[in-house]
């Protein structure tokens, strides 16, 4: 694991991780629970923390072991580095920080709107043209409508309502600006 807050240079990172083969970014991997292959060879897993097994007493086998410790608000990757980015940030605020939910998923901070905006914009920046951004959100406290309104781009498709459970998935595609419908308006 690489701690990017230390002085590791990007070239050093590239050499260590063969970043050219890493065209998928998980921007806040946590325990990688939604991954079928939790060590996918083409993926860089980042999070802003590490946690050893046992730190969460109710979930003793749970751990957070990113490849790189990094903040999704300040990604240390060049523009257009990835073909696919998955962004599954914390979504809960009103919960004690010692609860297992908070330990597993992290918590939203007071400045959560700014943080999510910065995170989304960074994920977008590091995405190649025609790359895909998958955003996951749970509507337990904050609505999909509210969270999507923070982002400058509209998803192509996803869950428009909360009728079928709380967890929502959205697919964005980085279509170059000239043909981005949210920016030009829906002219058809």
Ligand X SMILES: C[S@@+](CC[C@H](N)C(=O)[O-])C[C@H]1O[C@@H](n2cnc3c(N)ncnc32)[C@H](O)[C@@H]1O
Contacts to ligand X by CB under 6 A:
28-34, 47-49, 64, 71-73, 88-90, 105-106
**Residue number, 103 or 155, with CB nearest to ligand X:** 103
Please tell me the distance from the alpha carbon of residue 87 to that of residue 108, in angstroms, as a whole number. 14
**Residue number, 64 or 133, with CB nearest to ligand X:** 64
State the nearest-atom distance from the C-beta of 11 to ligand X, in Å: 22
**Residue number, 35 or 180, with CB nearest to ligand X:** 35
Please tell me the distance from the alpha carbon of residue 78 to that of residue 126, in angstroms, as a whole number. 6
State the nearest-atom distance from the C-beta of 181 to ligand X, in Å: 28
Q: 78 near 31, Cβ under 8 Å?
A: no
State the nearest-atom distance from the C-beta of 38 to ligand X, in Å: 9
State the nearest-atom distance from the C-beta of 57 to ligand X, in Å: 17
* Cα separation values, 88 from 10, 157, 179, 184, Å: 24, 16, 27, 28
**Residue number, 106 or 131, with CB nearest to ligand X:** 106
Given the DSSP bridges, would you call strands 68-69 and 2-3 parallel, antiparallel or unpaired? parallel
């Amino acid at each position: 694991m690489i701690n990017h807050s230390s002085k590791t240079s990007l070239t050093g990172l590239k050499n260590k991780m063969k970043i050219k083969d890493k065209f998928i970014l998980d921007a806040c991997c946590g325990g990688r629970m939604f991954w079928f292959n939790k060590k996918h060879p083409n993926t860089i897993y980042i999070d802003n923390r590490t946690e050893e097994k046992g730190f969460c007493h109710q979930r003793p086998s749970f751990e957070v072991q990113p490849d790189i410790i990094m903040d999704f608000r300040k990604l240390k990757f060049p523009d257009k580095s990835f073909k696919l980015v998955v962004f599954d940030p914390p979504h809960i605020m009103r919960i004690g920080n010692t609860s297992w939910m908070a330990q597993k998923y992290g918590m939203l901070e007071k400045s959560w709107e700014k943080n999510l905006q910065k995170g989304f914009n960074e994920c977008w920046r590091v995405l190649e043209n025609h790359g895909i951004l998958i955003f996951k959100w749970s509507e337990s406290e904050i609505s999909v409508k509210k969270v999507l309104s923070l982002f400058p781009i509209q998803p192509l498709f996803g869950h428009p309502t909360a009728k079928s459970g709380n967890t929502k998935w959205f697919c964005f595609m980085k279509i170059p600006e000239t043909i981005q419908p949210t920016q030009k308006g829906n002219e058809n």
